Amino acid sequence: MVLKGRPKTFDNYDALEKAQKIFWEKGFEGTSMCELVSGMGISRQSLYNTFGNKHDLFISCLEYYIHESSKKFRDLLTSDTISAKEKLNQIIEMVIDNYTCPESKGCFASFAIQEMAQKDPEVKRLLDGKFERSYKQMHEFFEQSLENGKISSQLSAEELTNLFDSILISVTSLCKLSNRDDQIRSLFGIFLKQIQFS
C-alpha cells in the first residue's frame, strides 16, 4: 500500500484520550463539539473525518478506556511470576492509589453506567461486556487459588468474586463524595479478612 498525500500529524489515541477526559468531566450531553475541537487540539474537519459524529466519538472513547483500563488488571491477574497474595495486594494498592488521590476523577465506565447505560444500547453492550469479562477473570483467579490451596476462605469463589467486584464498583462512587478515603481503604481490609493465605 503506497501512501499518497499529506500524512496524518496527530495520534488518534492521544486525541481520544483528550476527548475522553472532557466527556468525563462534563458528561456526554454536557460536552459541546466546540469544547472537543479545542480540547483535542485538532480541527473540526479532522475530528469529523477521523471519528465520525459526537456519538461515534464517545463510543470510541469508551472502547479505548475499557481497553486501557482492563489491560493492567488482566495482566496482573494472569501473571505467572507472583503469588496469589501478591496479585491481590498489587491490585488493591493500584485501586486505592487511583481512587484516593485528590485529582482522581473516578471511573469513566461507572460514569457511563449512570449517565448512558439506560438510554444508549451500544453503551450498555460495551459496559456489559467489560464488567462481565473482568468478573470472569476474577472468578477464574479465585477458583484456581482456592483449588490449588493458595488461599482458603469460608466464602466460595463466587462469593469472593461478587464481593470484590462489588467493592471495586462502590469505590468509583465513594471517591466522588467527601472524606471517604478511610472507608475505601477499610473495604479492602475487610475483604482480605475473608481470606487465609498459605
Partner DNA sequence: TGCTTTTTAGAATGATTGTTCTATATTGTA
Partner DNA sequence: TACAATATAGAACAATCATTCTAAAAAGCA
User: What are the residues binding DNA (CB under 7 A)?
Assistant: 2-10, 31-34, 41-46, 48-50, 53-55
Least separation, in Å, of the C-beta of 149 and a second copy? 22
In the set 89, 90, 106, 140, which binds a second copy (CB under 8 A)?
Answer: 106
* Residue 174: count of CB within 10 angstroms of its CB: 17
11 binds, among a second copy, DNA, none (CB under 5 to 8 A by kind): none
- Distance, in Å, from the CA atom of 80 to the CA atom of 72, rounded to the nearest integer, reads 14
74 binds, among a second copy, DNA, none (CB under 5 to 8 A by kind): none
In the set 39, 131, 133, 140, which binds a second copy (CB under 8 A)?
Answer: 131
Q: Does 196 bind a second copy (CB under 8 A)?
A: no
- Closer residue to DNA, CB minimum distance, 45 or 154: 45
- Closer residue to DNA, CB minimum distance, 4 or 193: 4
- Closer residue to DNA, CB minimum distance, 62 or 92: 62
Contacts of 93 (CB under 8 A, 6+ apart): none
- Closer residue to DNA, CB minimum distance, 43 or 198: 43
**Three-class secondary structure assignment of the chain:** CCCCCCCCCCCHHHHHHHHHHHHHHHCCCCCCHHHHHHHHCCCHHHHHHHHCCHHHHHHHHHHHHHHHHHHHHHHHHCCCCCCHHHHHHHHHHHHHHHHHCCCCCCCHHHHHHHHCCCCCHHHHHHHHHHHHHHHHHHHHHHHHHHHCCCEEECCCHHHHHHHHHHHHHHHHHHCCCCCCHHHHHHHHHHHHHCEEEC
Q: Does 192 bind a second copy (CB under 8 A)?
A: no
In the set 163, 181, 192, 197, which binds a second copy (CB under 8 A)?
Answer: 163
Binding site for a second copy (CB under 8 A): 25-30, 105-106, 110-111, 113-115, 117-119, 124, 127-128, 131-132, 154-155, 158-159, 162-163, 165-167, 169-174, 176-178, 183, 186-187, 189-190, 193
